[in-house]
Amino acid sequence: MKRVLFSMVLLMAVSFSFAQMKNVKEAKSMANDVKPNFKQAEQLIKEAMKNPETKDLADTWDVAGFIQRRINEEQMKNAFLKKPYDTLKVYNSILKMYEYYNKCDELAEIPNEKGKVKNKYRKANASSMLAERPNLINGGIQYFNLDKNKEALKFFATYVESASYPMLADKELAKNDTLLPQIAYYATLAADRVGDKDAIIKYAPAALEDKDGGKFAMQLMADAYKAKGDTAAWIKSLEEGILKFPGNDYFFANLVDYYNSSNQASKAMEFADRMLANDPNNKLYLYVKAYLYHNMKEYDNAIEYYKKAIAADPEYAEAYSNVGLVYLMKAQDYADKATTDINDPKYAEAQAVVKKFYEEAKPFYEKARALKPDQQDLWLQGLYRVYYNLNMGPEFEEIDKMMKDAEANKEADEKRKQEVDAKNDADALIFQTEKAIKDLGDKVDSKDKEEAEGKIKELKEAIEKNDVEDIKKKTESLNEVAMKLATKAYEEAAKNNQTAQTETSNNTENKKADDGVEEASYEEK
Confidence label for 479 from pLDDT (cuts 50, 70 and 90): confident
Write the secondary structure of 436-474 as one string of H (helix), E (strand) and C (coil): HHHHHHHHCCHHHHHHHHHHHHHHHHHHHHCCHHHHHHH
Report how far residue 364's alpha carbon sits from residue 294's, in angstroms, rounded to the nearest whole number: 16
Report how far residue 82's alpha carbon sits from residue 367's, in angstroms, rounded to the nearest whole number: 65
Long-range CB pairs of 118-124 (<8 Å, 24+ gap) are: 118/522, 118/523, 119/58, 119/522, 120/522, 120/523, 120/524, 120/525, 121/58, 121/62, 121/525, 122/167, 122/522, 123/522, 123/524, 124/524, 124/525
| pLDDT of amino acid 8 | 46
39 and 27 housed in the same domain: yes
| pLDDT of amino acid 365 | 96
| pLDDT of amino acid 19 | 63
Number of other residues whose CB lies within 10 A of the CB of residue 202: 19
Q: Is residue 64 part of a domain?
A: yes
Domain boundary among 199, 226, 245: 245
Confidence label for 223 from pLDDT (cuts 50, 70 and 90): very high
CA 487 to chain centre: 18
Contacts of 27 (CB under 8 A, 6+ apart): 40, 41, 42, 44, 45, 48, 63, 67
Average pLDDT of the segment spanning 94-99: 96
End-to-end alpha carbon distance in the chain: 45
| pLDDT of amino acid 173 | 93
330 and 393 housed in the same domain: yes
Q: Is residue 358 part of a domain?
A: yes
Top-confidence residue, 375 or 21: 375
Cβ neighbourhood burial of 404 (10 Å; 0-12, 13-18, 19+): exposed
232 and 266 housed in the same domain: no
| pLDDT of amino acid 242 | 83
Looking only at Cα atoms, what is the longest distance across the chain?
124
Does 514 score more than 50 pLDDT? no
Average pLDDT of the segment spanning 82-105: 91
Does 519 score more than 50 pLDDT? no
| pLDDT of amino acid 486 | 64
Contacts of 147 (CB under 8 A, 6+ apart): none
Rg (CA), the chain: 33
Average pLDDT of the segment spanning 37-64: 93
Does 255 score more than 50 pLDDT? yes
Report how far residue 213's alpha carbon sits from residue 18's, in angstroms, rounded to the nearest whole number: 53
Q: Is residue 101 part of a domain?
A: yes
263 and 236 housed in the same domain: no
Contacts of 51 (CB under 8 A, 6+ apart): 20
Domain boundary among 314, 332, 347: 314
Contacts of 371 (CB under 8 A, 6+ apart): 315, 317, 320
In the structure, how many helices (H) and strands (E) does the chain have? 23, 0
Q: Is residue 144 part of a domain?
A: no
Average pLDDT of the segment spanning 391-407: 90
How many domains does the chain fold into?
5
281 and 324 housed in the same domain: no
Confidence label for 352 from pLDDT (cuts 50, 70 and 90): very high
| pLDDT of amino acid 272 | 84
Q: Is residue 461 part of a domain?
A: yes
Confidence label for 495 from pLDDT (cuts 50, 70 and 90): low
| pLDDT of amino acid 490 | 56
19 and 128 housed in the same domain: yes
Residues 97-153: tens digit of each pLDDT: 999 999 999 999 999 888 899 899 999 999 999 999 999 999 999 898 888 999 999
Q: Which of 134-148, 285-299, 348-362, 471-485 has the highest mean pLDDT?
A: 348-362
Residues 270-320: tens digit of each pLDDT: 888 888 998 899 888 899 899 889 988 999 999 999 999 999 999 999 999
23 and 62 housed in the same domain: yes
Q: Is residue 495 part of a domain?
A: no
Q: Is residue 162 part of a domain?
A: yes
Q: Which of 30-39, 61-70, 503-512 has the highest mean pLDDT?
A: 61-70
267 and 345 housed in the same domain: no
Confidence label for 505 from pLDDT (cuts 50, 70 and 90): very low
Q: Is residue 147 part of a domain?
A: no
Q: Provide the 8-state DSSP code for 517.
A: P
State what percent of residues in the chain have pLDDT above 70.
Answer: 87
| pLDDT of amino acid 179 | 93
Note whether 426 and 470 are within 8 A (CB). no
The dihedral over CA atoms of 408, 411, 414, 415, expressed in degrees to the nearest 10, equals: -120
- Average pLDDT value over all residues in the chain: 85
Does 34 score more than 80 pLDDT? yes
Contacts of 193 (CB under 8 A, 6+ apart): 149
Does 262 score more than 90 pLDDT? no
| pLDDT of amino acid 16 | 45
Average pLDDT of the segment spanning 54-58: 93
Residues 419-431: tens digit of each pLDDT: 888 888 888 888 8
What angle in degrees, to the nearest 10, is found between the helix axes of 249-261 and 214-227? 20
Q: Provide the 8-state DSSP code for 110.
A: S
| pLDDT of amino acid 9 | 44
| pLDDT of amino acid 305 | 96
Report how far residue 155's alpha carbon sits from residue 203's, in angstroms, rounded to the nearest whole number: 13
305 and 320 housed in the same domain: no
Domain boundary among 221, 245, 269: 245
Query: b/e per residue, 455-464, with b = 16+ CB within 10 A?
Result: bbeebeebbe
Lowest mean pLDDT among 79-93, 380-394, 450-464, 482-496: 482-496
19 and 92 housed in the same domain: yes
Identity (one letter) of the amino acid at 123? K
Does 183 score more than 90 pLDDT? yes
307 and 217 housed in the same domain: no
| pLDDT of amino acid 493 | 56
Continuous segment of H or E residues that includes residue 525: none
Confidence label for 487 from pLDDT (cuts 50, 70 and 90): low
Residues 172-181: tens digit of each pLDDT: 999 999 999 9
Q: What CATH number has the domain bearing residue 261?
A: 1.25.40.10
State what percent of residues in the chain have pLDDT above 90.
Answer: 51
Top-confidence residue, 492 or 407: 407
Does 520 score more than 50 pLDDT? no
| pLDDT of amino acid 395 | 93
From 286, 361, 366, 362, select the one nearest 330 (Cα to Cα).
Answer: 361
Q: Give residue 88's domain range.
A: 15-111+120-132
21 and 125 housed in the same domain: yes
76: region left, alpha or beta (phi > 0 left; psi from -120 to 50 alpha)? alpha
